[in-house]
Structure 1
Amino acid sequence: MKNLCFTLTLLCFASLLSAQSMKGAWQLISLNGEKVTDREVIKIATDNYFALGSKRIEDNSFLGAAGGEYKLKGDKLIEKRDFDTYDSSKINAVKEYRLTWIDYKKVQISDSKHTKIWKKLFSEIDELSGNWVITGRKRGGVMMEMKPLDRRTIKILTANRFQWVAFNSATKTFMASGGGTYSAQDGIYTEHITFFSKDKNRVGAHLDFNFEVIDGKWHHKGQSSGGKSIYEIWSPYSETYPNALKTQN
């Protein structure tokens, strides 16, 4: 009996450790002890990158976006942000936050100014889960290579949520962002837009595309919201930017 109890304890402990991962989709539910009810803030995290977007619930107006590389080290969350519309001084700077797991689906992240509680929404993955950067776009019938430098467009997907962001980390310039929920099944990729920085009237739109992963790259074809034909190639961010921080879960 003692051996059985010991084994069960180890299994529970191992399960807790495996659950303590930032990978997945999260929603901000508390800020400095107050419930967050007037806005929706969603954070999407993959192995070593995260992005978040925020909108006002009342009228879907865009409030802000932030994201970049991260890793976990003990009870610390270490970030190096590539974009941040709330506080540009955080861009390219390494910041540490205290990480406290409340339970399997809630985590508290705090610094000297703010204490935030995030609730995990989903953690499921599919073949498009990950962080991607655009490296090719067809123009005039010719696929043009796009070299990702400081100016880049990324799209991060996991757990039924997506967010794309265009930014320049060197100049600390933010161009645009949008996101929402998605599905990727049987070669059809569908987006449901829940926020868009340039036009809140795009919220609620559904976009369908054909997709295929070829040699590790995401081929994305269809019609844009403006009716234009698009063919894009997205490459894994970790391969394009190999010096990214690595998680230590």
Structure 2
Amino acid sequence: MLPFAQQAALRGAFTTTKGDENSIWLFVDGYSSRTHYKDDEYRSTSGGPFTFSGNKLTVQLEYSDAHVDAVGSNETAQITLTADGFQEQDGTVWKKQATQKQELDGLWRITGRMQDDKMSRIQRADRKTIKLLIDGYFQWIAINPANKGFYGTGGGHYTFGNGKYKEHILFFSRDNARVGAQLSFDGALRGRDWHHSGLSSKGDPIHEIWSRERED
């Protein structure tokens, strides 16, 4: 577990822009994900469990679609915390987005899916789909760290309240045409599980169960 001050400083959503490329870096529950995208084009993502000590940020890569061979290794960066974010050694400035605490903030893993009108539990295995939600941003990632498999990602803004979970998509690796879509789902928290149902971005009915993977 990270020291409290460092844990609090890196928990959240951080963004930066270079030319026409946007980047977002999410940190929640000891996990990080960094994604690069243009307004209408997905570029790349990478991430995994992280530690932060002194000025050294270390990410144990569970996925990296742009550098597949790096999966399983540690990626390190020297960063300096600032009043409103942090700065990398190369001068890149990441700005922390405003805190927007919501009940769904955290690291989740899909554990159940409705099939043939029956909820089927998904057994824990190397392949997994996880979802990070923090300060009004979300990202899901389908991966298999054991064989360096990457099967897709998408993310953007989210809100949750009064039994409704809503998404505004900013990037989608499988289909850039879905950027800008706004989706609404029914959502309910039941203990450590989140029940999620509605229509997918393709219009297919879904009913999923997500469970908290860990907590800071």
> What TM-score, normalized by structure 2, do the two folds share?
0.91
Task: Identify which of 181, 185, 194 aligns with 2:161.
Answer: 185
Could you say which residue in structure 1 is the equivalent of 2:30?
48
Using the aligned pairs only, state the percent identity.
33
**In the alignment, is residue 62 of structure 1 matched against residue 62 of structure 2?**
no
Deviates more, 1:64-73 or 1:89-98: 89-98
Question: Which one has the largest radius of gyration?
Answer: 1
Structure 2: how far apart are the matches of 1:164 and 1:141?
Answer: 24
Mark the runs of 5 or more structure 2 residues left unpaired by the alignment.
Answer: none
Could you say which residue in structure 2 is the equivalent of 1:120?
96
1:237 is paired with a residue whose SS is: strand
RMSD: 1.8
> What TM-score, normalized by structure 1, do the two folds share?
0.80
Task: Identify which of 16, 23, 46 aligns with 1:28.
Answer: 16
Partners of 2:169 and 2:180 within 8 A in 1: yes
Deviation string 1:108-156 (CA, Å, 9 cap, x unpaired) is 234xxx5532111123321100010101001011111112321110110
Partners of 1:132 and 1:156 within 8 A in 2: yes
Structure 2: how far apart are the matches of 1:85 and 1:122?
Answer: 28
**In the alignment, is residue 197 of structure 1 matched against residue 173 of structure 2?**
yes
Task: Identify which of 135, 141, 159 aligns with 2:111.
Answer: 135
Structure 1: how far apart are the matches of 2:83 and 2:159?
Answer: 25
Structure 1: how far apart are the matches of 2:136 and 2:97?
Answer: 9
2:214 is paired with a residue whose SS is: helix
Structure 2: how far apart are the matches of 1:98 and 1:227?
Answer: 43
| Shift in Å, 1:19 | 9.0
Partners of 1:134 and 1:148 within 8 A in 2: no
Structure 1: how far apart are the matches of 2:91 and 2:8?
Answer: 18
